[in-house]
C-alpha cells in the first residue's frame, strides 16, 4: 500500500500534530534505546560497539504539540538523542560506532527532516551523509546518518546488507501506516541477521476490520504479505471491543509472528487511545535474546501511565479460542501503575512456583528464558521475588556449590534455584 498523502511539506508549512498515543509511543522508543545502549554497550566488560538503527517509516521528525503548545520531536531525532544519552550514561572508554538509516517514501518528509527537524534539534551536522567523530569527556563515538527515499519493502535487502556489513547490533523501528506496508518475508530477513530486533507498530484495528470483511480485495495481501492463512479464523465478530475478541486477536498475532516471523522472543504492548475500550495498535517487540526482552520490559515499566494496558493472560505460545475467555470470564486489563505491582508479583509467583516444583533444580537463566514472556514482570521483580522466597525458606539458591546468603543479592545466570526438602512453596 503506497502512501500518497504529504504529512510534512518541505517548506515547513504543513506539520502534523502529535497525538497522545504517538507521544506515548515515542516515550517508549526513547527510553528503550537509552537502556539498550547502556545495557549492550555499557554494562559488560567488552560490550557491543557497533549499532545500526533503521527507521523504516521515519516521517519528518517534528510535530506540533497541541497539549504543550510547543513542538514535539519524532522518532528520528529521538533515536539519535537516546543513543547519545545511553552513551553518556554508560561511561565506557572504548569507541561507539553508530549508523542511522532513515527511510520514507516521500521526498518532502526527508527534506523536512534534514532542513528543519534535525537543525532545530542541533543535529544538522549529521545531515551531510558522512561519518562524524565526536570526542568528549565520555569518550569517542562515530555517527553517520543516511536518508533514503523509497518504500521500505523495496529497500529491505539494502538495509540487511548495510547492517550486516556494519556488524554489531541492528535495531529496526517499523511504524507503517497500515499492515500491508511490511511483509512477513521482511520480518524473516531481519531475523536472519546475527543480532537483530524489531519494534513494530501493528495496526490490529485494521486486522479486526478485515476479518469482518474477509472477502475483499485485501484478501490477497492478507495471504501473501502477512502470510496469515490459517490465522485469525474467527468466523464472526460481533463486538470488536469485547475482551474475548481482543484476547483472540492478540493471541493470534503473537502466534503469527512467532511462527512465520521466526522470532521466538515476542512481547506486545497495547496502545489504547483515551476514551476507547480497545487497542488502536500494538507495539510488538521481536528479538532473539533474553537481554533485549528484559530491556524492553524495563522500558515499559519506566513509562507507566494510563495510555498503556496489558492483556496478560495470553502471553506465551499457547493458542486458545475466544470461547476460552468468554467461558472463564477473565478480566484482562492491566494498567502499568505502582498500584498493580503486587498483581505482577502474584502472577510471577504462580508461574515460578509451578516451574520450580516440577523439577529438581533450575538455573536462574533457564527460569527467565521459560517464563519472561508469560507475565508483565521485569528482571528486577524476578530478583526481588526470588530473594523474598529464599529469605522465607521457600526455596534455596546455590552459587558455586554454596548456599546464597544475604538479604538482597543480585542473581547470576548460573545460580541454581531449588526447593528445600522440608518445605512446600506457598502460592499467594
Residues 264-309 pLDDT 10s: 888 887 776 666 666 778 889 999 989 999 898 888 777 554 333 4
Out of 1.20.210.10, 3.40.50.2300, 3.40.630.30, 1.10.10.10, which CATH number does the structure's domain 340-418 have? 1.10.10.10
Written as nine digits, the cell of 294 is 528484559
**Distance (Å, whole) CA 204 – CA 283:** 10
Q: For the chain, what percent of residues have pLDDT higher than 70? A: 83
CB atoms within 10 A of CB 319: 13
| Exposed/middle/buried for residue 46 (C-beta within 10 Å: 0-12, 13-18, 19+) | exposed
Angle at 87 between CA 83 and CA 90, to 5 degrees: 140
Report the predicted TM-score, pTM, of the whole model to 2 decimal places. Answer: 0.88
Written as nine digits, the cell of 347 is 502472577
pLDDT at 237: 63
The secondary structure element, H or E, covering residue 265 is strand 265-271
The β-bridge partners of 392 are none
Written as nine digits, the cell of 338 is 505502582
Beta strand 139-149 pairing with 96-104: parallel
pLDDT-based confidence at residue 19 (cuts at 50, 70, 90): confident
pLDDT at 303: 59
CB 147 within 8 A of CB 110: yes
**Distance (Å, whole) CA 107 – CA 5:** 12
Q: Got the DSSP string for 4-22?
A: ---SS-TTSS---B--HHH
| Exposed/middle/buried for residue 47 (C-beta within 10 Å: 0-12, 13-18, 19+) | middle
pLDDT digit string, tens, across residues 356-400 = 888 889 999 999 999 888 777 889 999 999 999 999 989 999 999
Ramachandran sector of residue 146 (left: φ over 0; alpha: ψ -120 to 50; beta: rest):
beta
Beta strand 50-55 pairing with 96-104: parallel
Beta strand 132-136 pairing with 139-149: antiparallel
Find the mean pLDDT for residues 306-316.
39
Written as nine digits, the cell of 219 is 484478501
Look at 170 and 254; give whichever has higher pLDDT: 170
Closest residue by Cα to residue 171 from 50, 47, 328, 262: 50
Find the mean pLDDT for residues 219-234.
86
Find the mean pLDDT for residues 99-113.
97
Written as nine digits, the cell of 256 is 503469527
Angle at 399 between CA 395 and CA 402, to 5 degrees: 85
pLDDT at 273: 66
- Would you say domain 20-335 falls under CATH 3.30.200.20? no
pLDDT at 235: 63
Written as nine digits, the cell of 114 is 534534514
Written as nine digits, the cell of 141 is 563515538
pLDDT at 297: 84
Written as nine digits, the cell of 314 is 495470553
Written as nine digits, the cell of 27 is 516515550
Written as nine digits, the cell of 257 is 509472528
pLDDT-based confidence at residue 419 (cuts at 50, 70, 90): confident
The secondary structure element, H or E, covering residue 379 is helix 379-391
Please determine, for residue 427, whether its predicted confidence score (pLDDT) is greater than 80: no
Look at 342 and 316; give whichever has higher pLDDT: 342
Look at 323 and 258; give whichever has higher pLDDT: 258
The β-bridge partners of 397 are 417
Find the mean pLDDT for residues 173-191.
94
Residues of CATH 3.40.50.150 domain(s) within the chain?
Answer: 20-335
Buried b (16+ CB within 10 A) or exposed e, 358-380: eeeebbbebbbbebbbbbbbbbe
Beta strand 402-403 pairing with 396-399: antiparallel
pLDDT at 236: 62
Written as nine digits, the cell of 422 is 522440608
Please determine, for residue 8, whether its predicted confidence score (pLDDT) is greater than 70: yes
pLDDT at 422: 67
CB atoms within 10 A of CB 388: 15
Residues of CATH 1.10.10.10 domain(s) within the chain?
Answer: 340-418
pLDDT at 326: 47
User: 267 vs 197, 205, 292, 302, CA distance in Å?
Assistant: 12, 18, 10, 16
CB 384 within 8 A of CB 411: no
pLDDT at 336: 43
Q: Please tell me whether residue 274 adopts helix, strand or coil conformation.
A: coil
Amino acid at each position: 500500500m503506497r502512501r500518497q498523502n504529504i504529512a510534512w511539506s518541505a517548506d515547513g508549512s504543513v506539520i502534523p500534530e502529535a497525538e497522545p498515543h504517538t507521544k506515548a509511543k515515542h516515550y517508549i522508543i526513547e527510553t528503550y534505546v537509552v537502556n539498550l545502549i547502556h545495557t549492550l554497550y555499557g554494562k559488560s566488560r567488552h560490550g557491543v560497539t557497533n549499532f545500526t538503527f533503521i527507521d523504516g517509516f521515519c516521517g519528518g521528525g517534528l510535530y506540533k504539540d497541541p497539549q504543550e503548545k510547543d513542538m514535539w520531536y519524532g522518532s528520528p531525532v529521538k533515536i539519535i538523542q537516546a543513543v547519545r544519552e545511553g552513551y553518556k550514561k554508560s561511561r565506557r572508554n572504548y569507541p561507539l560506532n553508530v549508523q542511522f538509516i532513515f527511510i520514507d517514501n516521500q521526498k518532502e518528509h526527508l527534506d523536512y527532516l534534514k532542513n528543519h527537524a534535525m537543525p532545530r534539534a542541533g543535529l544538522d551536522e549529521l545531515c551531510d551523509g558522512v561519518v562524524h567523530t565526536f570526542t568528549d569527556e565520555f569518550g569517542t563515538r562515530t555517527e553517520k546518518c543516511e536518508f533514503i527515499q523509497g518504500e521500505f519493502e523495496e529497500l529491505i535487502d539494502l538495509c540487511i546488507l548495510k547492517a550486516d556489513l556494519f556488524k554489531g547490533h541492528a535495531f529496526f523501528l517499523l511504524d507503517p501506516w497500515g499492515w500491508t506496508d511490511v511483509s512477513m518475508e521482511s520480518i524473516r530477513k531481519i531475523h536472519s541477521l546475527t543480532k537483530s530486533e524489531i519494534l513494530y507498530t501493528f495496526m490490529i484495528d485494521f486486522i479486526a476490520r478485515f476479518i469482518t470483511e474477509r472477502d475483499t480485495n485485501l484478501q490477497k495481501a492478507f495471504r501473501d504479505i502477512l502470510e496469515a492463512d490459517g490465522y485469525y479464523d474467527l468466523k464472526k465478530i460481533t463486538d470488536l471491543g469485547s475482551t474475548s475478541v481482543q484476547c483472540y486477536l492478540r493471541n493470534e498475532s503473537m502466534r503469527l509472528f512467532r511462527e512465520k516471523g521466526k522470532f521466538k522472543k515476542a512481547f506486545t504492548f497495547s496502545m489504547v487511545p483515551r476514551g476507547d475500550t480497545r487497542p488502536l495498535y500494538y507495539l510488538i517487540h521481536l528479538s532473539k535474546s533474553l537481554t533485549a526482552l528484559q530491556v524492553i520490559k524495563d522500558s515499559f515499566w519506566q513509562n507507566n501511565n494510563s495510555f498503556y494496558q496489558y492483556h496478560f493472560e495470553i502471553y506465551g505460545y499457547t493458542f486458545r479460542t475466544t470461547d476460552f475467555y468468554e467461558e472463564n470470564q477473565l478480566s484482562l486489563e492491566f494498567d502499568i501503575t505502582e498500584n498493580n505491582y503486587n498483581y505482577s508479583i502474584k502472577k510471577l509467583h504462580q508461574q515460578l512456583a509451578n516451574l520450580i516444583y516440577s523439577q529438581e533444580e533450575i538455573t536462574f537463566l533457564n527460569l527467565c528464558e521459560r517464563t519472561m514472556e508469560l507475565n508483565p514482570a521485569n528482571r528486577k521483580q524476578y530478583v526481588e521475588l526470588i530473594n523474598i522466597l529464599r529469605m522465607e525458606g521457600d526455596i534455596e539458591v546455590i552459587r558455586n556449590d554454596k548456599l546464597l546468603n544475604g538479604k538482597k543479592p543480585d542473581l547470576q545466570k548460573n545460580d541454581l534455584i531449588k526447593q528445600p526438602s522440608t518445605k512446600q512453596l506457598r502460592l499467594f
